[in-house]
Amino acid sequence: MAGFLQQVINGLSLGSIYALIALGYTMVYGIIQLINFAHGDILMVGAYIGFFAVVYLKLNIWWAFIIAMAGASLLGVIIERVAYKPLRNAPRLAALITAIGMSLLLENGGLMILGTDIRSYPVGTITNKQLPLSFLGIQLTATTLQLLILAVTVVMMIILQYIVHYTWTGKAMRAVSYDRDAARLMGINVDETISVTFALGSAFAAVAGILLGLYYNTIQPLMGIMPGLKAFVAAVIGGIGLIPGAMLGGFALGVFETMVSGYWSSKMRDPIVFILLILILLLKPAGLLGRNNTEKV
Amino acid sequence: MLLLKVENLNVYYGAIHALKGITLEVNEGEIVTLIGANGAGKSTTLKTISGLLRPQSGTITYNGEVINGLPAQAIVKKGISHVPEGRRIFPNLTVMENLELGAYLHRSREGMKKSIQEVFRRFPRLRERQKQMAGTLSGGEQQMLAIGRALMSRPKLLLLDEPSMGLAPILVQEIFNIIKEINEQGTTILLVEQNANMALSVAHRGYVLETGRITLTGSAAELISSEDVKKAYLGG
Ligand SMILES: Nc1ncnc2c1ncn2[C@@H]1O[C@H](COP(=O)(O)OP(=O)(O)O)[C@@H](O)[C@H]1O
Ligand SMILES: [Mg+2]
């Protein structure tokens, strides 16, 4: 029992990073129906911006988060404007292939500029201690890093919920994602709204990038690939385009993955995740929270 | 006073020539109707006026200013509000959120509250359902919401695309009464309808559109008694 609960704790902290990444996938999909395959690589750029802020600018981790979010947002907006916007009325496959190309560009650009060196955030970037926890009399441990990851994720999610549901920007985002032309008739600037969505999604990716860098204690130019794919799976599990779905999918996948490596084999962890993706696509393509939208006449 | 003038408008969808040089005018205070069969180009006309489509050639002058080529959001801002065909409310947003979005460009709290109260006075059923998801409303209520949402921006010119589509006869009558009332309170209306009878009963003037061309125009009374219109659109 203690072992199982311990896996849940580990799974939730990894899962919350997946959830942060999945939110960006799902927001972008919701608004322009594009799987932004470069999303994982934006995460990598965010992680590096955070790294340079800590190492060269000697800033603390909180400033690193903020600068990384700003930098990644800018990158996300530029990618959308330059690569995706011209294809907005083109067949979806064209945009999808462009997204894959953008991903390769960022990965190889990263390798070229940053080299293949594996870096890590300096010791002491955050204080990492083991904390004893007791749950119904069962002794467990969590690290301060795990708690930081959970706390940051929860705060980011609350901020996102607030933006989406209570601000004009959020209302515009929802309107554009449901019906672009109807949104234009309300006076909403669709291009601006799409940019804001990319900015938000990329800021979330940057936070996830730094958290991943701290969690695995490494950053490298290809670090976004696997978490990006996993988060994509998480978004599909929850129902692509649905914000609560991305959160649920992220947490669920994190716990599932941790269980698979804990109780079965860590070699099976990645293959099982992709088998899960195939099963979801076959059995419930709309995702756990998705339903087939019936139109009302 | 001339409020809207459309001159020699040509609109294409790729190779399809949907509007072939149409010209029409709407004076302030009028209800002008544009009638025609399915596929004649009625919706295309409205979409071009509201900026959802760009014309290949021709001009649209509103209030003395050329507006074709402006983005849709700039045109709403100038006071033209378009209720699209099929209502196009946001089904997963609440009734209240739909109305608020209608005032997206007029977000001052006070003005917004006042506009919402006005819409609720006109459509009491929307007040009762304000917290409901718009997609759960009946067809008639959705049409009321679509009109209410368009009124939130306090337009001078309201473009209505087939407001009676898919509604039971009693609701059609109700919607047309509301259209008349909105007009009497000072909003100019360009009304697109397949239900020519109904449209001509509330309109001052009308245009008949056939495959992208205006084939007939006149006062509502003239059009109702025209043999061509009777044969083609009034079922006899
Ligand atoms: N998105 C579109 N793509 C291609 N052709 C279109 C599109 N929308 C309308 N059309 C064509 O343009 C013509 C006019 O359509 P429309 O304005 O919708 O007619 P109406 O509203 O009078 O029924 C029709 O021949 C229709 O098939
Ligand atoms: Mg039409």
Chain-chain contact of B166 with A297 (C-beta, under 8 angstroms): yes
Candidate of B12, B20, B43, B233 to mutate for ligand 1, largest count of ligand atoms within 8 Å of Cβ? B43
| Ligand of minimum distance to the alpha carbon of B213 | 1
Q: Return the higher-pLDDT residue of A71 and A276.
A: A71
For position B61, what pLDDT does the model report?
98
Residue A189 forms part of a structural domain: yes
In chain A, how many domains are there?
1
Ligand 2: centre distance to CA B74 (Å): 23
Chain-chain contact of A184 with B52 (C-beta, under 8 angstroms): yes
For position B110, what pLDDT does the model report?
84
Q: What count of other Cβ atoms lies within 10 Å of the Cβ of residue A98?
A: 21
Task: Tell me how far CA of residue B156 lies from CA of A213, B39, B81, B182, B206, in angstroms.
Answer: 56, 28, 8, 11, 19
Residue A168 forms part of a structural domain: yes
Work out whether the CA dihedral A99, A198, A241, B94 comes out positive or negative: negative
The verdict on A158 touching B (C-beta cutoff 8 Å) is no
| Chain B residue nearest residue A182, CA to CA | B88
Please give, rounded to a whole number of angstroms, the shortest distance from the CA of B136 to a CA of chain A: 8
For position B96, what pLDDT does the model report?
96
End-to-end CA distance of chain B: 35
For position B231, what pLDDT does the model report?
77
Q: Which helix (H) or strand (E) holds B200?
A: helix B196-202
Please give, rounded to a whole number of angstroms, the shortest distance from the CA of B227 to a CA of chain A: 34
Contacts of A174 in chain B (CB under 8 A): 90, 92-93
Tell me which residue has its CA closest to atom 18 in ligand 1: B43
Q: A40-67 pLDDT, tens per residue?
A: 999 999 999 999 999 999 999 999 999 9
For position B111, what pLDDT does the model report?
85
Work out whether the CA dihedral A10, A11, A12, A13 comes out positive or negative: positive
Contacts of B97 in chain A (CB under 8 A): 171
Chain-chain contact of B72 with A185 (C-beta, under 8 angstroms): yes
Of residues B52, B73, B107, nearest to A189 (C-beta):
B73
The verdict on A192 touching B (C-beta cutoff 8 Å) is no
Q: B178-231 pLDDT, tens per residue?
A: 999 999 999 999 999 988 999 999 999 999 999 999 999 999 999 999 888 877
What is the identity of the amino acid at A243? I
The verdict on A89 touching B (C-beta cutoff 8 Å) is no
Residue A293 forms part of a structural domain: no
Window A:215-244, CB contacts with B under 8 Å: none
For position A224, what pLDDT does the model report?
97
Q: A174-185 pLDDT, tens per residue?
A: 999 999 999 999
Whether the CB-CB separation of B132 and B145 falls below 8 Å is answered with: no
Instruction: Write down the mean pLDDT value for chain A.
Output: 93
Ligand 1: centre distance to CA B151 (Å): 26
In B73-229, which ranges are E strands?
A: 80-83, 157-161, 188-193, 205-210, 213-219
pLDDT at A297 over 50: no
For position A292, what pLDDT does the model report?
52
Q: B39-54 pLDDT, tens per residue?
A: 999 999 999 999 999 9
The verdict on A188 touching B (C-beta cutoff 8 Å) is yes
Work out whether the CA dihedral A218, A219, A225, A229 comes out positive or negative: positive
Q: Predicted confidence band at B108 (pLDDT cuts at 50, 70, 90)?
A: confident
Q: Is B212 left (phi over 0), alpha (psi -120 to 50) or beta?
A: left
Chain A and chain B share a number of CB contacts under 8 A equal to 70
- Least confident window among A123-132, B5-14, B31-40: A123-132
Q: How far is it, in rounded angstroms, from Cα B172 to Cα B165?
A: 8
Candidate of B6, B10, B12, B13 to mutate for ligand 1, largest count of ligand atoms within 8 Å of Cβ? B13
HSE (side-chain half, CA atoms, 13 Å) at B172 = 16
Chain-chain contact of A174 with B52 (C-beta, under 8 angstroms): no
Q: Return residue ranges of chain B for CATH 3.40.50.300.
A: 2-79+155-233
| Chain B residue nearest residue A172, CA to CA | B101
Number of the ligand 1 atom closest to the C-alpha atom of B38? 23
The verdict on A175 touching B (C-beta cutoff 8 Å) is yes
Residue A124 forms part of a structural domain: yes
Instruction: Write down the mean pLDDT value for chain B.
Output: 94
* Interface residues from chain B to A (CB-CB < 8 Å): 50-52, 71-73, 76-77, 81-82, 84, 88-93, 97, 100-102, 104-105, 107, 135, 139, 142, 149-150, 153, 166
Q: Predicted confidence band at B235 (pLDDT cuts at 50, 70, 90)?
A: low
Check whether domain B2-79+155-233 has CATH 3.40.50.2300, yes or no: no
Q: Token pair of A199, please?
A: 């900015």
| Ligand of minimum distance to the alpha carbon of B19 | 1
Residue A44 forms part of a structural domain: yes
**DSSP code string of B118-133:** HHHHH-HHHHHTTTSB
Q: A242-263 pLDDT, tens per residue?
A: 899 999 999 999 999 999 998 9
Average pLDDT over residues A186-197: 97
The DSSP call for residue A87 is G
Q: How far is it, in rounded angstroms, from Cα B182 to Cα B31?
A: 10
Average pLDDT over residues A16-33: 95
- Least confident window among A204-218, A221-235, B103-117, B177-191: B103-117
Q: What is the domain range of residue A49?
A: 2-6+17-218
Residue A223 forms part of a structural domain: no
Measured from CB, residues less than 6 Å from any atom of ligand 1 are: B 13, 16, 18, 36, 38-44
Q: How far is it, in rounded angstroms, from Cα A49 to Cα A79?
A: 17
For position A294, what pLDDT does the model report?
37
Q: Token pair 């599909």 is at which residue? A: A236
Q: A68-90 pLDDT, tens per residue?
A: 999 999 999 999 999 999 999 89
ipTM of the complex model: 0.94
HSE (side-chain half, CA atoms, 13 Å) at A185 = 32
For position B234, what pLDDT does the model report?
66
| Chain B residue nearest residue A171, CA to CA | B101
The verdict on A207 touching B (C-beta cutoff 8 Å) is no
**DSSP code string of B48-111:** HHTTSS--SEEEEEETTEE-TTS-HHHHHHTTEEEE-TT----TTSBHHHHHHHHTTT---HHH
**DSSP code string of A177-205:** HH-HHHHHHTT--HHHHHHHHHHHHHHHH
Residue A172 forms part of a structural domain: yes
Residue A244 forms part of a structural domain: no
